[in-house]
Structure 1
């Protein structure tokens, strides 16, 4: 069948720039998927003559501020007819005792459009085939393939209905209606044009009150002609760029912006670097149809304001790209992506410079005003700011963070970490939230913490306290850097633990993909700090100091006893055990994303090791052990031992050498006496790899034991002694990880 490329374009008013990329992809993918499901897209043909030349993509996506479009290759005018085997009913239902069709069968055939001119022949043509325990009748029907006209109509309607529209507009139709102004439609923005071309032929479809044609509109001010006539589907992008002054492809336009930004910085000098924010690039790409990058400048006096403030106001409010020098410091020049390309750009440059000045002046004013009050003087005002209706004010929250930070600092000091308990963590925790009451953070909430660091330095506080205030929100996102010093780590841990404990304590836990308080991110932050900084802190100890914080008041309800084996803190609050499990679950996911296998992660985390900083060493040890030839047999033996001990959970691990009667159990006991002390010493020295490799030598005596010794002997003292021997072996071999999890 002959195929040609199909172009579809919906011309609308300016689309929301932040959503444009997503809208364009969804529009194109939905149309492609619908046509493919209707068999209107042919599979790719033969490969190109050049083996190094790949086949073109199945479709090209177009998305500009005023259009959504797609070019789909190899589209058929009509889908091929297909044979479809339809199950009718059991033979006993469709045919009577004489083999004649029942009324139920005839009605079913009539509904399917079968030719019943000769009912006997129609029934004879049916297929019989087993269907489970009965024999059924099947009708072999010919399904007529969809035409492109009908198929594209369906695809367009489905694509529009399923678009991820941020906010729908309702507007009245003005043309092509019997009663203009009385019919209305809902869409993301009012639509004004529809193009549907297969090759050079218009496909007669309608949508949103529009009839398909072969013309569209170009740039509002710079198009050479209006309307822009598209000769055929393949020439769409080139025609629109040449005659309409529009780069239709989102990625092509974004690439052009990146190139122009880099070239503009290079023209200024080799020391200039553009701060290219990916989200800002996407948004600006959604704002312009043909980009033109211009260099602008602001008064150098504004550089006295923290550069984070200036950068944020330029990016968030004006969509400008700041320029940094070789040292990473902000310069007073910036780049703007214009949507017009006048011969004399001075008016455009001047306009942007005038617009940015009051924004920067506001930032300078906020900064100057905020420094008139110290951070310490603002702390009292936090008691008037509600944090959560069940957890009190920001002032109460600050007191809890301060208390938890002090407890963590004491734990670190007891573990030998120098300068951990010097009072800095307590002071930093007290001041950490004070910048929430500043004008700058009120205008730019993204700067909380950052501004606190600047104001702390202005107040004459020590640099490590300023760093801690600035860093206590870190890591803010995946891949973000961690706090720079011990004080910052302590306050950041306390802040995240306070949030986790508080929210779990009142039952606000993440469900599905809903996590309004970012508890998953907070948990990952705690994990990263404990693991990457190898902090000598036990997870249970951290949760205990957070849950036992007396300033929770009556926020938590007393829990039930969760088991005698659990630490006492778990008996106080229902939330403690679920929170610990939540953290280990986040840790497991993070480790798998880092490339560790599910078996390796399960083996290590099954023991729930409390020093999370040791986990990478344990994983490395497990991976090295799994590579040993002895590993499969020992893993299987551990699984077998675990099953035996489940039936004897209270067995004493003590072994009486007098009761060891079999040569194989004597040999195993002797091997354990020789190897276990060395493996334990290596474990205590945190050399987990060496510890497991030492224990790998137990394979031969373990195999011999299970080959020739009956563990569950009839004689009670022998049975208990052998179970005790296995329990001692199990304890020795599973200090690093649960090796049974490695068994196939």
Structure 2
């Protein structure tokens, strides 16, 4: 299974060309219940035979030491893989846990995003099918801005290598993730730091790009006066950037980000990201400096008219200060 922002693919090795043939036996009603006193088939016998696709007189008899029953026996030829795959694919796609579906064009087809191509290959043979309103063929699409926009695949064994070589797409999620991790570590080393490559952010970024290109940018050193936690929250949560720390664990005025394209002028991409993050860091700086203008206990009068649980007490009825970790000394809001 490989997945990228604009494609899903499943490759099955050693797939049989058809199901094996099988022998089917279905036991029907006991002879005593299968016929009436005149020897005519009962409704139960006729219903069972109809379900088997035969008539009662075509049924065989099964004799055991416990009695005699009607029996249907048949040799069922296995269906071809070519006939089974389309329904399997359609059913599997319909069961994907997609929280919000969309519809496009004039069709009633629903999926997470509009579908442009569908390719079903059994070796070198195209399996004819219509999946999500698209007829399957050999055409696959590459990266939106790099590589060949469209090309054909001759054999299933060529995937995903052909997509890498001609489409400039690393279809394998784990391969993209590993590349981002290695390149980000190297980029951080070059500026004398260590990248904060949290697993959750690494997974998210790997899911956003098809051709990851790691770049390094910077922000103004004045923002380092803001608590590192606030800056990191902005970089990681809002921008999907990787913060960089020195060997002592101090935040550096740099960040690492991942582009989805090999630009002829990467400085333009770097400059653009620096411009985007600056106002966000400025917001963090503003709110931090605003909060510092008042002590925590200066906010106590605002609690006078706040409703709190009767058992919790109220700050207005408390005199004693609360001494917490780190030398915090303020009036407690809760008992």
**TM-score, reference length from structure 2:** 0.88
1:186 and 2:110 are equivalent in the alignment: yes
Q: Which one of the candidate residues 65, 75, 80 is aligned to 2:15?
A: 75
Alpha-carbon distance change, 372 to 228 in structure 1, aligned in 2, over 3 angstroms: same
Contact 2:61/2:69 (8 A) holds in 1: no
Q: CA deviation at 1:297?
A: 0.6
Which string of whole-angstrom CA distances, capped at 9 and with x for unpartnered residues, describes residues 622-653 of structure 1?
xxxxxxxxxxxxxxxxxxxxxxxxxxxxxxxx
SS at match of 1:191: coil
Q: Which one of the candidate residues 370, 373, 397 is aligned to 2:294?
A: 373
SS at match of 2:142: coil
Between the aligned partners of 2:130 and 2:35, the Cα distance in structure 1 is 47
Contact 2:187/2:215 (8 A) holds in 1: yes
Between the aligned partners of 1:229 and 1:247, the Cα distance in structure 2 is 17
| 2:174 aligned partner | 251
Please show how residues 151-230 of structure 1 align to structure 2 within 5 Å.
151-172=84-105, 181=106, 183-223=107-147, 225-230=148-153
SS at match of 1:192: coil
Which string of whole-angstrom CA distances, capped at 9 and with x for unpartnered residues, describes residues 334-387 of structure 1?
1011111124311111111111111111100010011112111223435666xx
Between the aligned partners of 1:168 and 1:103, the Cα distance in structure 2 is 47
| 1:264 aligned partner | 187
Between the aligned partners of 1:82 and 1:63, the Cα distance in structure 2 is 36
Between the aligned partners of 1:257 and 1:348, the Cα distance in structure 2 is 17
Contact 1:257/1:293 (8 A) holds in 2: yes
Contact 1:196/1:204 (8 A) holds in 2: yes
Contact 1:314/1:321 (8 A) holds in 2: yes
Q: How many equivalent residue pairs? A: 332
Which string of whole-angstrom CA distances, capped at 9 and with x for unpartnered residues, describes residues 205-233 of structure 1?
1111101111111111111x221221211
Between the aligned partners of 2:303 and 2:67, the Cα distance in structure 1 is 76
Contact 1:297/1:333 (8 A) holds in 2: yes
Contact 1:228/1:240 (8 A) holds in 2: no
SS at match of 1:140: strand
Q: CA deviation at 1:107?
A: 4.6
Q: CA deviation at 1:260?
A: 0.9
Alignment gaps of 5+ in structure 1: 1-60, 173-180, 386-392, 407-422, 429-461, 470-490, 496-548, 550-744
Name the one with the larger helix percent: 1
SS at match of 1:346: helix
Which string of whole-angstrom CA distances, capped at 9 and with x for unpartnered residues, describes residues 274-300 of structure 1?
111222111111111010101111011
Alpha-carbon distance change, 398 to 258 in structure 1, aligned in 2, over 3 angstroms: farther
SS at match of 2:255: strand
Alpha-carbon distance change, 90 to 465 in structure 1, aligned in 2, over 3 angstroms: farther
Name the one with the larger strand percent: 2
Structure of greater relative contact order (alpha carbons < 8 Å, 6+ residues apart): 2
Between the aligned partners of 2:30 and 2:6, the Cα distance in structure 1 is 57
Q: Which one of the candidate residues 137, 140, 151 is aligned to 2:73?
A: 140
Between the aligned partners of 1:152 and 1:382, the Cα distance in structure 2 is 65
Between the aligned partners of 1:91 and 1:381, the Cα distance in structure 2 is 88
Alpha-carbon distance change, 113 to 320 in structure 1, aligned in 2, over 3 angstroms: same
Q: Which one of the candidate residues 49, 61, 66 is aligned to 1:109?
A: 49
SS at match of 2:86: helix
| 1:338 aligned partner | 259
Which string of whole-angstrom CA distances, capped at 9 and with x for unpartnered residues, describes residues 688-713 of structure 1?
xxxxxxxxxxxxxxxxxxxxxxxxxx
Alpha-carbon distance change, 97 to 396 in structure 1, aligned in 2, over 3 angstroms: closer
Q: CA deviation at 1:241?
A: 0.6
1:126 and 2:61 are equivalent in the alignment: yes
Between the aligned partners of 1:259 and 1:241, the Cα distance in structure 2 is 19
Between the aligned partners of 1:401 and 1:317, the Cα distance in structure 2 is 37
Q: CA deviation at 1:127?
A: 2.4
SS at match of 1:142: strand
**TM-score, reference length from structure 1:** 0.42
Between the aligned partners of 2:312 and 2:222, the Cα distance in structure 1 is 39
Q: CA deviation at 1:327?
A: 1.5
Alpha-carbon distance change, 463 to 157 in structure 1, aligned in 2, over 3 angstroms: same
| 2:238 aligned partner | 317
Alignment gaps of 5+ in structure 2: none
Alpha-carbon distance change, 194 to 381 in structure 1, aligned in 2, over 3 angstroms: farther
Between the aligned partners of 1:398 and 1:379, the Cα distance in structure 2 is 19
Which string of whole-angstrom CA distances, capped at 9 and with x for unpartnered residues, describes residues 278-328 of structure 1?
221111111110101011110111000000000000011111000011111
Alpha-carbon distance change, 319 to 101 in structure 1, aligned in 2, over 3 angstroms: same
Contact 2:143/2:149 (8 A) holds in 1: no
1:90 and 2:14 are equivalent in the alignment: no
1:273 and 2:191 are equivalent in the alignment: no
